[in-house]
Structure 1
Amino acid sequence: MRIRITYRKTGALLYTSTLDVQTIWERSVRRAGLILQYSQGFHPQPRIQIANPLPLGFVGAQELIDIWLDDERKPEEIKDLLNKSVPEGIYITEVNTIEENGPSLPKQIDASTYSVELLNSDDSIEKIQASTEIMLLKDSLPRVRNRKSYDLRPLIQEMSVQTNPDGKIVIFLKMPSNSSQTGRPEEVMAELGIPLENFRITRTSLVFLEKYA
């Protein structure tokens, strides 16, 4: 049985690597009394697929992971068992069974949406909106990351600015998250001249390719 889990990743686990998160899931499945499937071969590996690595320090509002189980329990029961077994910082919101031999989860993901909350900004929402509008009007935004030059502009698929109920300015972004392109919202903030310590990023959703949506 292949299940797809939707979960939140927050708090103490914000700076936990993708590899460590996979280990956490493996241990949590065992702790819940569920039977995890393993790959075949000389070095069997647990059949777990994380949709897309979440950068360190990002909150994950709707992260996705596929896990293969030798178990026939209903999704709601599995959800309850796992929520009692995962560490603080992970909370499962949904469990669904999916086609066991369907495409791998990472190959189904096309993009990510983000909310970037400004924490210590003296700028008005009008000024931030004007800055984002100027950015979107540009044909290219040359950047350098890890000593490599690239154009940030085509990676900004959508961008808007609003205020949240607390009155803080929030920038909403949609950027690619697939095998050919990955957009980084912190690079957008750097282009806007907003220091790293002045914002908090939440990945709000993972967007499937149209044929898998």
Structure 2
Amino acid sequence: MRLRIFFAKTDAMRYTSHLDLHKTWERTIRRTGLPLVYSQGFNPRPKLQLASALPLGFTSDGEVLDAWFAETDQSTTQILESLQRAAPPGLKVHKVTEVDPTKPSLQTQVRSAEYVITLLDPVPDLEERLESRLSVSSLPRQRRGKTYDLRPLIETISLLLPDELGRSRIAMLLSAREAATGRPEEVLDALDISAESTRIHRSQLIFDD
């Protein structure tokens, strides 16, 4: 039985690493008493699969986990309620659905990621910066010592209405495929904005149909 769990990672878990998040999910599911399926071999591991690693310091409303269970007579609604009770602060479970176990791995189905960036400090000429970066056909950048083109990884970028504190916000839809992943902090760098002076929130992961 393969279940897809939709969840948020909020402020209390901003600095929980991808590996530690995996362990947190393992502990959370164990607390529910649900029968996790384990891998075979010398060192069995629970069959858990996160869709996409969320960098340290980011929050998200749109995270997704696939988990494999032995058959259970509980409904997905009952499982959702059990997970919500067992989840630690910073982990909020929104929805649980059953998935065909023969479908491809979750990571290979991620197509794009949507982000909302809140600027903690005023940035002059923000609209002009966005327009100038979008108007070019190429944005050469460096990653791990290699040059790559950031521009095709930016699907859309736009200004949102300010938040309740009057701070500027940017919406980005970036490619999130395995061999072509756009990073919001690199887009910010291309806009001459320090990522350290922002709050980055992943609002949604978009999957292949």
- Which position in structure 2 is the counterpart of 1:85? 86
Letter of the aligned partner of 2:177 in structure 1? Answer: N
Q: 2:127 aligns with which of 126, 129, 132?
A: 129
Partners of 1:179 and 1:191 in 2: CA distance: 22
2:197 is aligned to 198
Distance 1:5 1:40 in 2: 23
SS of the aligned residue for 1:3 comes to strand
Q: Partner residue of 2:15?
A: 15
Aligned partner of 1:144 in structure 2 is 142
- Secondary structure at 2:181 match in 1: coil
- How far apart in 2 are the matches of 1:139 and 1:177? 20
TM-score, normalisation: structure 2: 0.94
Quick one: distance in 2 between partners of 1:198 and 1:163? 18
Moved more, 158-167 or 187-196: 158-167
In the alignment, the residues of structure 1 paired with residue 107 and residue 188 of structure 2 have an alpha-carbon distance, to the nearest angstrom, of 26
1:92 corresponds to which letter in structure 2? V
Amino acid aligned to 1:22: H
Q: CA deviation at 1:129?
A: 1.4
- Aligned residue for 2:98, secondary structure, equals strand
Mark the runs of 5 or more structure 2 residues left unpaired by the alignment. none
Structure 1 alignment gaps of length 5 or more: none
Does the Cα contact within 8 Å between 1:121 and 1:198 map onto a contact in 2?
A: no
What percent identity do the matched residue pairs reach?
Answer: 40
Do 1:114 and 1:173's aligned partners in 2 also have CA atoms closer than 8 Å?
Answer: yes
**How far apart are 1:151 and its partner, in Å?**
1.3
- Alignment partners' CA distance in 1, 2:158 and 2:179: 24
State the alpha-carbon separation in 2 of the partners of residues 196 and 53 from structure 1. Answer: 18
Aligned length: 207
Kindly tell me: are residues 190 and 122 of structure 1, through their superposed partners in 2, closer, same or farther at Cα, counting changes over 3 Å? closer
State how 1:1-213 maps to structure 2 within 5 Å: 1-70=1-70, 71-123=72-124, 127-166=125-164, 167-209=166-208, 213=209
Over the aligned positions, Cα root-mean-square deviation in angstroms equals 1.3
- Bigger mean CA deviation after superposition, 158-167 or 136-145: 158-167
Runs of 4+ in 1 over 4 A off after TM superposition: none
